[in-house]
Chains A and B, each alone.
Chain A
Amino acid sequence: MEPLAQGELSQLNKRIRQDIIRMIGTAKSGHPGGSLSCVEILSTLYFRVMNVDPEHPRWEGRDRFVLSKGHAAPALYAVLAHRGYFPPEELLSLRQFGSRLQGHPDMKKTPGVDASTGSLGQGLSIAVGLALGGRLGGKTYRVFVVVGDGEIQEGQFWEAAMAAAHYKLSAVTLVLDYNGLQIDGTCEEVMSLGNVGDKLAAFGFAVSEVDGHSIAQLESAFRLPAQDRPKCIIAHTHKGCGVSFMEDQVGWHGKAPNAEEVARALSELGGGSS
């Protein structure tokens, strides 16, 4: 498939946001805030950057994706469905008993999910293993991992960051979905992250910072030439992006919108209330 043009992709992103709202609204549970903040990151990867084949989800040569912030599963599922891994009609089965779309990504159930995730702070370790395996197996695939900002409070993240630099894993691109909020408040209040860019650069990453809702900026950052080190893209985002009453609101981390809120959100996203 040819990469989707940036203009078409921003149209699709609206649709993806509508899907996220409908999915979580229907499930009556889930994480809208952090799903909406990473829509552009995920869709840019799957529609313009990553080398994948939805007809053959387990193709060995494919680029790998790890959603370390697994609670943003609705965003991943919507992107995968529109990319052709499974029918978009299935999206509304999110979190239902028997569904292929579990509350957090399950590689055994969902076509296109490369790694089971959800317990925070662990995705970069998995990405390091995937990249070491690719190198050892003579493969040229890249590994993209999206990490939430709050989850870098987990010590394991820094163990993995150290390892990614130690092994000079240029195949690894870490994207930090830097929306500044976590469950109990702002990251600054709860456990300040300090200057994340400086920290990761000191650990040995090639760091760039972008507007995480700009497809063009994300794409240029993804296309920066590989060096002898892992890449880190700090994507400045807004939790709840696209829905006015959710934007930058701590309360929308893990709360489902009710019917009235779903309707309001959909009308803002230009999707009607259906």
Chain B
Amino acid sequence: MNAKEIRAPRLAYGETLVKLGAELDNLVVLDADLAHATMTTLFRGQFPERFFNVGIAEQNMMGIASGLALAGFMPFASTFAVFGAGRAFEQVRNTICYPRLNVKIAVTHAGITVGEDGGSHQSVEDISLMRSIPNMTVMVPADAVETEKAVRAAAAFDGPVYLRIPRPPAPVFIEAGTKFEIGKADILRDGRDVCLCATGLMVFQAVQAAEQLHAAGIEATVVNFHTIKPIDERLIIELAQRVGKMITVEEHSIIGGLGSAVAEVLSEHRPVYLKRIGIQDRFGQSGAPDQLLEAYGLTAANIVGAAKTLLARQAE
């Protein structure tokens, strides 16, 4: 599978908000002084009366979003992942999720591909935080095409959603016609030897890894987990039965993210060998996104290596 183009998912986020703004009168957008980075500035340009820049105050932004939802609007609140999930965690928990209000928290600049800004701004724990809150749905789109689908799905869903979007431009490879259903993972490739479960930018790496494995005579299944919560439990169990060797890949800590979610399902329903590829309980640092992905072991080559190791272990 080759990429058709390179495009920033956050640009797709901003453009989708503009499209949805024309379709939905009750859509409002909030930002905390990062509108040019999160791309909500596109919405502001079209619908200034429905855009609220609350300044550098993420906690207040979540409270205001809560109030707007109580008044019948559907707020999309945007900032960087580290602030939306981290700084405002308790506001998200108590004023949005506890009363199950229809607020979408759409964050950009998630993970280490933030790059040069360094570890202070690279959220490696946000999925874990958001996944643990009752009533919350967590989505992590794989590219710009899927970002539009995820934003639309979030808008059509009644309840709190956390939408995790990266910073850099990324290969576009999800087919435009792919159906997006919250909580249902997509099988991108079928193979009997090993199953690669990936999310976000790592889905493309997994696809590339599968091609390299194929060249080496190993057939990999590749699954795109665009929803981390609710996790597609049924499919995970089925894959464990059918393929049996599982690898998770995420640009997030191995603690609490996709790897944990898959491990939870496997260990309760069908224990099989599982390798979690992700950030190994460390913070990020400055560097170019590609440099960092390599340094943190998040490339197709790492996935290929892990698959071969896992297969060797199973053969013992």
A134-175 interface code vs B (CB 8 A; 1 in, 0 out) = 101101000000000000000110011011001000000000
Which chain A positions have C-beta within 8 A of B67? 115, 125-133
Measured in the bound complex, the distance between the Cα atoms of B63 and A133 in whole Å is 13
Which of B48-56, B222-230, B294-302 contacts its partner? Answer: B48-56
Q: Say whether A118 faces chain B, with CB atoms less than 8 Å apart.
A: yes
Chain A interface size, under 10 / 10 to 19 / 20 to 34 / 35 or more: 20 to 34
Q: Say whether A183 faces chain B, with CB atoms less than 8 Å apart.
A: no
Q: Say whether A259 faces chain B, with CB atoms less than 8 Å apart.
A: no
Contacts known (A136-B28, A156-B59, A160-B60); A129 close to B94, Cβ less than 8 A: no
Which chain B positions have C-beta within 8 A of A96? none
Which chain A positions have C-beta within 8 A of B157? none
Which chain B positions have C-beta within 8 A of A160? 60, 63-64
Q: Is the CB of A137 within 8 A of B71?
A: yes
Q: Say whether B265 faces chain A, with CB atoms less than 8 Å apart.
A: no
The residue that A126 contacts in the complex, of B54, B66, B98, with Cβ under 8 A, is B66
Which chain A positions have C-beta within 8 A of B71? 129-130, 132-134, 136-137, 139
Q: Quick one: which of B72-94 are within 8 Å of A by CB?
A: 72-73, 75, 90-91, 94
A68 nearest CB across to chain B (Å): 10
Q: Quick one: which of A93-122 are within 8 Å of B by CB?
A: 106-108, 114-119, 122
Q: Is the CB of B94 within 8 A of A116?
A: yes
B66 nearest CB across to chain A (Å): 5
Contacts known (A60-B72, A107-B99, A108-B99); A129 close to B59, Cβ less than 8 A: no
Q: Is the CB of B94 within 8 A of A119?
A: yes
Measured in the bound complex, the distance between the Cα atoms of B71 and A64 in whole Å is 10
Which chain B positions have C-beta within 8 A of A162? 55, 57
Q: Quick one: which of A76-106 are within 8 Å of B by CB?
A: 106
A83 nearest CB across to chain B (Å): 20
A67 nearest CB across to chain B (Å): 13
Measured in the bound complex, the distance between the Cα atoms of B278 and A204 in whole Å is 48
Q: Say whether B140 faces chain A, with CB atoms less than 8 Å apart.
A: no
Which chain A positions have C-beta within 8 A of B63? 122, 124-126, 128-129, 156, 160
Contacts known (A108-B99, A118-B94, A136-B49); A159 close to B65, Cβ less than 8 A: no
What is the chain A residue whose CB lies nearest that of B64? A129
- The interface size of chain B toward A, counting residues with CB under 8 Å, comes to 29
The residue that B70 contacts in the complex, of A114, A118, A155, with Cβ under 8 A, is A114
Measured in the bound complex, the distance between the Cα atoms of B72 and A156 in whole Å is 23
Contacts known (A116-B94, A119-B90, A156-B91); A125 close to B70, Cβ less than 8 A: no
Measured in the bound complex, the distance between the Cα atoms of B100 and A108 in whole Å is 9
A25 nearest CB across to chain B (Å): 27
Q: Is the CB of B57 within 8 A of A126?
A: no
Measured in the bound complex, the distance between the Cα atoms of B55 and A156 in whole Å is 12
Which chain B positions have C-beta within 8 A of A124? 63
Measured in the bound complex, the distance between the Cα atoms of B57 and A118 in whole Å is 20
Q: Is the CB of B95 within 8 A of A132?
A: no
- Which among A124, A125, A160 has the greatest number of chain B C-beta atoms within 10 A? A125
- Which among B50, B70, B72, B90 has the greatest number of chain A C-beta atoms within 10 A? B70
Which chain A positions have C-beta within 8 A of B100? 108
Q: Say whether B68 faces chain A, with CB atoms less than 8 Å apart.
A: yes
Q: Say whether B201 faces chain A, with CB atoms less than 8 Å apart.
A: no
Which chain B positions have C-beta within 8 A of A156? 57, 59-60, 63, 91
Measured in the bound complex, the distance between the Cα atoms of B63 and A123 in whole Å is 8
B79 nearest CB across to chain A (Å): 13
Contacts known (A107-B99, A122-B95, A156-B60); A136 close to B50, Cβ less than 8 A: yes
The residue that B95 contacts in the complex, of A108, A125, A139, A163, with Cβ under 8 A, is A125
A151 nearest CB across to chain B (Å): 13
B29 nearest CB across to chain A (Å): 12
Which chain A positions have C-beta within 8 A of B55? 159, 162-163, 166
B297-311 interface code vs A (CB 8 A; 1 in, 0 out) = 000000000000000
Measured in the bound complex, the distance between the Cα atoms of B70 and A128 in whole Å is 11
Which chain A positions have C-beta within 8 A of B91? 122, 125, 156
The residue that A125 contacts in the complex, of B62, B72, B73, B98, with Cβ under 8 A, is B62
What is the chain B residue whose CB lies nearest that of A109? B99
Measured in the bound complex, the distance between the Cα atoms of B57 and A162 in whole Å is 10
Q: Is the CB of A132 within 8 A of B68?
A: yes
Q: Is the CB of B59 within 8 A of A125?
A: yes
Given A129-B71, A159-B57, 10 new contacts (CB under 8 A)? A116-B95, A125-B63, A125-B66, A128-B64, A129-B70, A132-B71, A136-B71, A156-B59, A159-B59, A163-B55
> Interface of B with A (CB < 8 Å)?
28, 49-50, 52, 54-55, 57, 59-60, 62-73, 75, 90-91, 94-95, 98-100
9 closest A-B pairs (Cβ-Cβ)? A129-B67, A125-B63, A133-B71, A159-B60, A129-B64, A159-B57, A130-B67, A116-B99, A126-B67
> Interface of A with B (CB < 8 Å)?
60, 64, 106-108, 114-119, 122, 124-134, 136-137, 139, 155-156, 159-160, 162-163, 166
26 contacts between A and B (CB under 8 A): A107-B70, A115-B70, A116-B95, A119-B90, A122-B91, A122-B94, A125-B63, A125-B64, A126-B70, A128-B63, A129-B63, A129-B70, A129-B71, A130-B67, A130-B68, A132-B64, A132-B67, A133-B71, A133-B73, A136-B28, A136-B73, A137-B71, A137-B72, A162-B55, A163-B55, A166-B55
